[in-house]
Amino acid sequence: MLSTKLLVAVAVLIGVFAEQCDIKDLGIADFADKVTVTNLNAPGEGEGWVAVKTNHGKISMILPAGKSRTVAAFAATTYSIVVVGHDDDSLRRYTERLYELRDRLQELTITPEASPDAILSAAADLALLETSLAQIGQGGQSCGGKLVTDVTVQATIKSVASDGGTSFWVLDCG
Amino acid sequence: MGLGILIAASIAACGGAAAPSVAPSVVVATPPSAAPTFAPASPASAATESIAPTATPAPSRSHRPLPSIDQTELDAYLTSSITLLDLAEGDLSVVVAYLDTTSGEAIDLGTYDLSSNEQRTDQVPPGTFKLEFRTPGTAKPQACTIEIGDKDAITFVAIEGAVAIGKAGSKPAAIKELFVATSSLCGH
């Protein structure tokens, strides 16, 4: 007999883990709430760092100029989007932290004996990744709203140059 | 028991069949006049990428009835999390399956494709999962079968030639516990 718990677990996980699955003739995407973010910059004008958060998950990604990405979440009701440029301090700190972690992990793969402190430190950093991500873009452009069943949110980002020569991102959640 | 059956069952639940008593209830947002049909899906991908249109696109809407979930119940159910981060040079694909421990059957759930430096966190229900990590240039994928308990937060980080694993609150004593290939967190 079909386990109700398993059924719901799978139904949820399908949405959580994959926008679409090739399972016979069933489209998992039909169950998903979606947010599409489009970088309206012309190719070569600049890529943006974008984070999309829903009730049950979040994803951060670099969105090249002229590209769009769709993020799917199962049964989500709210979303928020943050965009920052590469010159954002919080993004710079986050990226540096990632590279430090990468280098330390890489070194641990070739180090037969590492100190207990080094191992614990790497493990602690692994556990803090999600927290680090949450600290990005608090001063950046953000928008959000409610997800409506069967409607894909269409958001756009575009970098705009100011008179002073600096540029900033404009985010539109539609 | 195949995933198709599970999905079909979930569709039936969406259509008003018996609601789960323990797990979140699923109901139809717009009652269908007939059994809902579902279009073939494209290759699995957690986030798709395409060339941008020249103008701001309008919200898209299909006309198929879709399920809605009791958020309070769902929140109570999704108590754990999995974080994936690609710190390798190339793209990372993570094939995910849910393991039914009673039948021993692995249920394929799809594939996540992450670009370099991409990070994602998803809340999941506790359970047993199998994750298979594939990176360009790596002949053999690395796999991890892991039992995720209530409130567990598991992190996987792909680097060149290895995948690191972390669990919030754990204090590994040896290097081998930091990597999927050797960690005791992974039953493999």
In sequence order, what DSSP letters do the residues of B15-37 get, joined into one string? TT-PPPSSSPPEEESS--SS---
Mean pLDDT, contiguous 10-residue spans, chain A (174 residues): 46 45 43 86 88 90 92 83 88 92 93 88 89 79 86 92 82 91
**pLDDT beyond 80 at B26:** no
**Whether the model pTM is above 0.90:** no
For residue B166, pLDDT beyond 80: yes
The pLDDT, as a whole number, for residue B64 is: 52
Strands B80-86, B119-124: pairing is antiparallel
pLDDT of residue A114: 86
Q: CB-based contact (8 Å) between B137 and chain A? A: no
A14-28, B63-77, B167-181: lowest mean pLDDT where? Answer: A14-28
Q: Please indicate whether, in this complex, the C-beta atoms of B166 and A123 are within 8 angstroms of each other.
A: yes
Q: Cβ-count burial of B123 within 10 angstroms (0-12 exposed, 13-18 middle, 19+ buried)?
A: buried
The band of B145, judged by pLDDT with boundaries at 50, 70 and 90, is very high
CB contact under 8 A, B159 and A68: no
Q: Which chain A residue has its CA at the smallest distance from B75's CA?
A: A56
**Per-residue pLDDT tens for B85-141?**
999 999 999 998 888 888 888 888 778 889 999 999 988 889 999 999 998 777 789
Q: Which residues of B touch A43 (CB under 8 A)?
A: none
- Flag if A5 and B157 touch (Cβ within 8 Å): no
pLDDT mean across residues, chain B: 71
pLDDT of residue A86: 79
Q: Which of B21, B117, B132 to mutate to test the interface with A (most CBs of A within 10 A)?
A: B117
Q: In this predicted structure, what is the pLDDT of residue A26? A: 41
Asked casually if ipTM beats, i.e. exceeds, 0.85, the reply is no
List the structure tokens of B112: 């996540």
Q: Is the pLDDT of residue B6 over 60?
A: no
Portion of chain B with pLDDT greater than 90, in percent: 40
Give the orientation angle of helix A116-127 with respect to helix A89-110, to 10 degrees.
Answer: 140
Q: Are A21 and B47 within 8 A, CB to CB?
A: no
